[in-house]
């Protein structure tokens, strides 16, 4: 892989240079669009494309999409004044994928398990005693799976 900056690398191929320029233009439009949005709304959407006067924005959920649609003209007019010939705003919902569930890696040491077992034997409160017993069964059961 080359250590040259993308701008220098893209100069070798006209199609790559065009693609790089288009990507920079979309990023610039995305920044301009998000500066016009209230609060933290800009963190939950992104400009997808701009073609034939239509600005397409992806919203991360339907609530954000509804808010962007309500803003409509109040965003289009300032963008036009900034030199982007936006005529219409189209909002599409493109949900962000859920974060992967992390597996728990916490394990009690043998000394810790023994201490909980001793405590469970001495506790009189049945609710606490059962909770400690459940904790011990869970951790000792996972020990057998190791």
Q: In this predicted model, what pLDDT tens digit does every residue of 29-38 receive, in sequence order?
A: 999 999 999 9
The pTM assigned to this predicted structure is: 0.60
d(CA 68, CA 45): 9
pLDDT by 10s per residue, the chain, length 146: 455 666 666 677 788 888 888 899 999 999 999 999 999 999 999 999 999 999 999 999 999 999 999 998 899 999 999 999 999 999 999 987 777 887 777 788 888 888 888 988 888 898 998 998 898 888 887 554 44
> 61 with 27: CB under 8 angstroms?
no
Give strand pairing partners of 92: 58
> 90 with 55: CB under 8 angstroms?
yes
pLDDT of the residue at 19: 86
pLDDT of the residue at 106: 75
Q: How far is CA 131 from CA 42, 97, 103, 134, in A?
A: 45, 35, 22, 5
pLDDT of the residue at 146: 43
> 47 with 86: CB under 8 angstroms?
no
């Amino acid at each position: 892989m080359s250590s040259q900056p993308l701008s220098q690398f893209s100069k070798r191929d006209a199609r790559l240079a065009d693609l790089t320029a288009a990507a920079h233009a979309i990023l610039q439009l995305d920044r301009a669009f998000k500066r016009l949005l209230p609060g933290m709304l800009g963190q939950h959407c992104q400009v997808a494309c701009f073609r034939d006067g239509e600005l397409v924005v992806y919203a991360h959920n339907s609530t954000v999409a509804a808010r962007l649609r309500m803003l409509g003209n109040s965003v289009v007019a300032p963008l036009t004044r900034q030199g982007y010939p936006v005529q219409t705003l189209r909002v599409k919902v493109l949900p962000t994928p859920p974060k992967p569930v992390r597996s728990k890696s916490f394990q009690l040491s043998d000394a810790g398990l023994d201490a909980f077992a001793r405590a469970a034997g001495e506790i009189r409160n049945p609710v606490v005693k059962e909770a400690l017993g459940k904790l011990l069964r869970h951790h000792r059961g996972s020990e057998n799976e190791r």
